Amino acid sequence: MKALVILSGGQDSTTCLFWALQKYGACNVSAIGYDYNQRHKAELDFAHNICNRHNVPFAVISLPVIAELSDNALTNPDIKVDTDKPETTPPNTLVEGRNLLFLTYAAIYAKARDIRVLVTGVSESDFSGYPDCRDIFIKSCNITLNMGMDYPFIVETPLMWRTKAQVWQLADELGVLDIIKNQTLTCYNGIVGDGCGNCPACHLRKKGYEEYLCTK
């Protein structure tokens, strides 16, 4: 069975790429990324490099309309990224409907290539207040895609119930811990590896790594 990984070039999606390669085999995995004028667009360069090194076909879809429709810190450089997650509201890095659009375009791309499995790195355990990272959303989206396109998609979420520490553990089990640590870009401010250390993505990544090291 063939699988398409939604790949940003960050920790989670890159871990999912190696998970898919192990589960479905190198000949059956391809990846898709999105350029939506995100401030950390350099993540796509890291995705491209990873795919090149591991012979994974990688397509980048341009979705600038996202930046036109939603005002947030990821697509508007004039908005400073929150350093901490607000207690009662989603962080200002929330891009409304992003995963819905990503899955929809991935499904269109996949069906044209006879690919049934869509892999996305969303997680409800460390979802940071993003509603489109929840399991109930993914399940409902899977049903909607199947009905709307009359095609038996399977949306895989290998990180759904994993904490960030457990995502690092999975990377280690897959034998790619160093790759994930040094060759991915998770930082919202576009700094490779450990990142800026101030944005919510960096906080989660660092905290999870330290927690995982304590379990070894």
| Strand-pair partners of 33 | 60
**Domain ranges, ordered by start, for the chain:** 3-163
What average pLDDT does the chain have? 93
- The C-alpha atoms of residue 175 and residue 153 are separated, in whole angstroms, by 29
Answer for the pair 182, 193: CB distance below 8 angstroms, yes or no: yes
Q: Residue type for 180, please?
A: I
Tokens coding 180: 């994930």
Q: How far apart are CA 128 and CA 112, in angstroms?
A: 33
Buried b (16+ CB within 10 A) or exposed e, 92-130: bbbbeebbebbbbebbebbbeeebebbbbbbbbebbeeb
C-alpha–C-alpha distance, residues 164 and 94, integer Å:
19
Q: What is the pLDDT of residues 118-155, one digit of tens each?
A: 999 999 987 667 899 999 999 999 999 999 999 999 99
Instruction: Convert the pLDDT of each residue in 34-82 to its tens digit.
Output: 999 999 999 999 999 999 999 999 999 999 999 888 889 989 988 988 7
Alpha carbons within 13 A on the beta-carbon side of 26 = 6
At residue 111, does pLDDT exceed 70? yes
User: The pTM is what?
Assistant: 0.95
> How big is the CA angle at 37 (ends 62 and 188), to the nearest 5 degrees?
125
Q: How far apart are CA 95 and CA 1, in angstroms?
A: 32
| Eight-class DSSP state of 117 | E
Query: In this structure, what token pair is assigned to residue 31?
Result: 């990846």
Looking at residue 125, its pLDDT comes to 86
pLDDT of residue 85: 64
The H or E element that residue 58 is part of is strand 58-62
Residues with Cβ within 8 Å of residue 18, at least 6 apart in sequence: 171, 174, 176, 179
Instruction: Flag whether pLDDT at 7 surpasses 70.
Output: yes
State both tokens at 194.
């450990």
Residues 6+ apart with CB under 8 A from 109: 4, 32, 59, 61, 115
Fold exhibited by the domain 3-163: Rossmann fold (3.40.50)
Calculate mean pLDDT across residues 88-107: 91
Measured at the CA of 65, the angle between CA 64 and CA 69, to 5 degrees, comes to 130
Residue 177 has a pLDDT of: 98
